[in-house]
């Protein structure tokens, strides 16, 4: 008759199997759930960081305030970065000129002010702050990878005061010309009348016909001078 294993013998057999069972359970996917969740969480964090790198103003126009006028310049889609940069710079300069013309029109109260006042946007660039262009790549085009640049521009509203001053100086110069035209017409007319009367009172060898001819010539000359001066002056 076979004898039953002793308790120590049963423990000796069961312990290795217990260790194997515990090791197998530890390797099961369910026990690694927290680690995988952590990895997925990190993945989401990386994606969020990537999205955050795209400036908000690329898709949403920035808000201006009392100190700064803000706007975004978007280039068109181009097949090379060089073309995108070149056209973006051209569009940026055009937009800056357009904005400054707009300030000048507001200051002057007339739409032709940019045509009357001579200035260059470059002389006001110290009031302009332009961000580093954000390069966007669009691979969903049938022609291949396309590039587009975006820049945020902040214009200090002090430039509006500078342009207003330009208009006021321009206006002052032409108003002086207007006054000069008025005074020249008035003083010249008085002078011609006085000269004609004076020649009538003084004994001279000039006949009345010649005196009248002289007065008419002086009057015509005065009219021509006043007309020419008036053409040079902007009546504002």
Between helix 81-108 and helix 158-201 the angle, nearest 10°, is 50
Across 167-173, average pLDDT: 91
The yes-or-no verdict on residue 219 having pLDDT over 60 is yes
Between helix 158-201 and helix 208-232 the angle, nearest 10°, is 180
The yes-or-no verdict on residue 47 having pLDDT over 60 is no
Q: Residue 175: its pLDDT value, please?
A: 84
Q: How confident is the model at residue 168 (pLDDT cuts 50, 70, 90)?
A: very high
The yes-or-no verdict on residue 203 having pLDDT over 70 is no
pLDDT tens across 72-102, in order?
Answer: 999 888 888 899 999 999 999 999 999 999 9
Q: Residue 25: its pLDDT value, please?
A: 59
Q: Token pair of 111, please?
A: 């739409």
Q: What is the mean pLDDT of the chain?
A: 78
Q: Residue 18: its pLDDT value, please?
A: 56
The whole-angstrom separation of Cα 132 and Cα 55 is 11
The yes-or-no verdict on residue 12 having pLDDT over 60 is no
Domain ranges for the chain, please list them. Answer: 7-52, 56-156, 166-232
Place of tokens 């009538």: 200
Q: How confident is the model at residue 33 (pLDDT cuts 50, 70, 90)?
A: very low
């Amino acid at each position: 008759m076979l004898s039953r294993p002793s308790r120590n013998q049963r423990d000796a057999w069961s312990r290795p199997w217990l260790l194997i069972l515990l090791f197998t359970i530890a390797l099961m996917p369910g026990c690694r759930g927290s680690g995988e969740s952590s990895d997925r969480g990190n993945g989401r964090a990386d994606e969020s960081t990537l999205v955050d790198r795209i400036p908000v103003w690329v898709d949403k126009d920035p808000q201006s305030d009392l100190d700064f006028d803000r706007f975004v310049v978007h280039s068109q889609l181009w097949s090379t970065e060089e073309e995108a940069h070149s056209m973006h710079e051209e569009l940026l300069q055009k937009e800056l000129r357009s904005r400054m013309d707009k300030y000048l029109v507001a200051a002057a109260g007339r739409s032709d002010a940019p045509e009357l006042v001579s200035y260059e946007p470059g002389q006001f660039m110290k009031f302009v702050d332009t961000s580093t262009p954000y390069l966007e790549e669009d691979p969903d085009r049938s022609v291949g990878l396309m590039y587009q640049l975006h820049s945020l521009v902040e214009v200090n509203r002090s430039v509006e005061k500078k342009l207003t001053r330009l208009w006021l100086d321009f206006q002052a110069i032409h108003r002086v010309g207007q006054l000069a035209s008025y005074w020249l017409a008035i003083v010249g007319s008085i002078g011609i009348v006085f000269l004609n009367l004076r020649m009538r009172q003084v004994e001279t060898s000039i006949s009345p016909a010649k005196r009248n001819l002289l007065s008419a010539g002086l009057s015509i000359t005065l009219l021509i001078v006043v007309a020419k001066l008036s053409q040079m002056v902007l009546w504002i």
